[in-house]
Chains A and B, each alone.
Chain A
């Protein structure tokens, strides 16, 4: 068993994906709270907005790591999500702070539904990538 840089990348990605799964679950719960009138949109957006950039930066970070470890297949699988994140952040409403969610428009039923769907899709993607990185790590460790 050789502990290569690629193995280290996969291990790190595994841990960070756990964090991303946590973010995705947080988003789902937050939008559900908004939908059932449990929370005020202003407070909810103030909690959600600071989490957006860290999530995107974590994802960018391990994409860069995979680039350095020359794991092309894994990088290719993460490219669409990277592009989506870039597009999403570019088309956000005018805001002085970081974030994507504007309390005046978030209660619109279409936007709320979109954000909920986005949360579920991301959760599914991160879960699948978690298991993929687990497999990848073991594969890299075993095949030295």
Chain B
């Protein structure tokens, strides 16, 4: 671990690497030129996105604040109807006309979606007829063309359809004869209430089953108290209606069911010890109606933590418990939340510890990234067929083979939550995180028995999907549960050349049952221009989306081939695309590592990925941590994923209101984003690093005492407590400002990032320093060295 003396700047910059005095203006998105004009590439007309940047010379490539997504080059009247980039993003905002052109550009083509995101404004349409194209079944959207008042042309298959009579009347404006003014044609994101043709069976009620590990290890960690308390607090806010059902299963070496039938004076526990052939002891009253049996449920939740206090059972029969959960839920479908604290040791699906602690820091390949058994995958597929989703909460200090256990969630559209070394006394920050995450998990919106279909214009086709779901057919994803925090990605290829087309469209349609038993369809439509020159393709590249898609592809590659292959593939992605830029797009050859302005962050993000927990070699990484990082790369939507890949560093001891945002009467300061290098840290300041799942506050040794006293409430540096995770709520202006800033950062994501205050000698300092990706470590290159390596490879 390199310990750099603070106060000295990083070893003097290599020659040619000058510090720019004034950073370039933040990227405001490409100038709104039509694609043909951009193709002229006259120097005076080069859009901002194609401005040549010599990465070896320009140091300050990060914008002042967040990196804005690029705007597609569409005419203004179409662009205003386009889908929000928070919901639907494409790696290339200008689609190449042919597959050979795409291959030449050496950039991946794909979509990143966040279809069920919580939206503040969502138009909902209740209509007797949902207008869809006759051949391709696309929903009518803002990008169709109306040939005359009575006919419309589909933008995905170009079929001409008739406008139904009912559609001619616009209920919003009470006018007739203007179908293009209807809400379906005015908003790219819309929700329909689906009639009965869209139901395979009557909409299911919300059914929640909680499967809890009660072995000795589990009781030791103390998680049961948190879960039961959280459930008691949020029982009334569980999404659902009068038909909502709830049930509980606990397990150690036997499975325990709870009879909660209305009329019983207290919950009755039924123990099934035959775990080889699990059966349900009573046909009903294990899953009971929540509103009718609420007192019994509350009694059970109050009694559960004490019931297993003295347990000496050390075995865990997770496989049979999951089979029991599946049997219980398969008549209706629903959600099973599984809490596990150790390796399952009994019954079907028992796992062995495969991690070799000596291999954690291996500079070569990492083994055991694939599941050890297909028991969990097969069970997940069975669950998926019965509309049951399984969410896994892993709260363990030891190796739990997350690579095998995670399969139960990955293919049943569940989510995986991981709290390493969870303990109610030794690790209070994890407890806080667990509590807040549980609250969000229990109360967030949920959709049941869902399917999602992604359609694209004729000529484009989707070939690979990334995310937690089961692919039921070539473009149909089966999602037993859909939640607002899940992201999806797809890779596309161009099957037929897109000649004679100015634009292509993509539509994602999510058909689900809401928690109130209503069948709904959420439709998102996006439209992008088609271009036929390489420079236009590069001008429209979305560097964050490209990074996100490459991360998912690299995770797949590390599992099917090897981790080293995946790392090489990531580096080659940068090398190939920049080499193409240099040879085919640049008109004037200059020395140095040249990149277009829109891709200037590409090498930085790839280096960040190579140093991320999922892909790093040479640094000791626990196997479960690595596998969880890989799952996050495939599961998280892009906006929550980016801080996990490239953490954001701010200086916070001198926050001002200059340039601050005003949201809900709170002033939120907007400090400048700094490069992730120890060179930017200084002993006199305090720095905040937002790394997605965790926020670090690093205090310099000579930090101003005014900051320490007014924000942290301590008189001097040595009084800062060792494991501080909370900020005192002081009345000072600095404290208010600082807490507003942290609150704003926390609001941007659904999971709860813990705040860690770090001093010089803190135990967490290595984790903080590992995020300084621009610096050199024993096992990895610094950013500048990486750039030199790229330049060398490109010039070959």
Contact = CB atoms under 8 A, between A and B. Distances in A.
Contact of A109 (B374, B375, B377, B461): B461
B87 to A, nearest CB: 25
Given A40-B472, A104-B377, A107-B474, A94 B371 contact: yes
B463 A108 contact: yes
Interface residues of A, number: 17
Nearest to A112: B474
B474 A104 contact: no
Contact of B374 (A37, A40, A42, A95): A95
A96 B493 CA distance: 34
A54 interface: no
B472 A96 contact: no
B472 A41 contact: yes
Contact of A41 (B374, B375, B378, B471): B471
Contacts of B127: none
Given A37-B474, A104-B471, A107-B471, A42 B385 contact: yes
Contacts of A104: 377, 381, 411, 470-471
Contacts of B373: 94, 96
A76 interface: no
Interface string B371-408: 11111011001000100000000000000000000000
Contacts of B464: 108-110
Contact of B381 (A35, A94, A103, A107): A103
A40 B473 CA distance: 7
Contacts of A93: 370, 374
A35 B474 CA distance: 7
Interface in A11-70: 34-35, 37, 40-42
A109 B461 CA distance: 10
Contacts of B472: 40-41, 107
A93 B371 CA distance: 9
Given A37-B476, A107-B473, A96 B374 contact: yes
Nearest to A95: B374
B381 A42 contact: yes
A11 to B, nearest CB: 41
Interface in B227-252: none
Interface string B431-469: 000000000000000000000000000000111110000
A95 B385 CA distance: 19
A31 B464 CA distance: 17
Contacts of B377: 102, 104
Nearest to B377: A104
Nearest to B471: A107
A33 to B, nearest CB: 10
A73 B787 CA distance: 57
B490 to A, nearest CB: 11
Nearest to B385: A42
A95 B373 CA distance: 7
B661 to A, nearest CB: 43
Interface in A97-111: 102-104, 107-110
Nearest to B470: A104
B559 to A, nearest CB: 10
Contacts of A109: 461-464, 474, 493
Contacts of A96: 373-375, 378
Contacts of B381: 42, 103-104
A53 B473 CA distance: 26
Interface of B: 370-375, 377-378, 381, 385, 411, 461-465, 470-474, 476, 493
A-B pairs, 9 with minimum CB distance: A109-B463, A37-B473, A107-B471, A95-B374, A94-B374, A96-B374, A94-B371, A104-B411, A108-B464
Interface of A: 34-35, 37, 40-42, 93-96, 102-104, 107-110
16 contacts: A35-B474, A41-B473, A94-B372, A95-B374, A96-B374, A96-B375, A102-B374, A104-B377, A104-B381, A104-B470, A104-B471, A107-B471, A109-B461, A109-B462, A110-B463, A110-B464
Given A93-B370, A110-B463, 12 more contacts: A37-B473, A41-B472, A42-B381, A93-B374, A96-B375, A102-B377, A103-B381, A103-B470, A104-B471, A108-B471, A109-B463, A109-B474
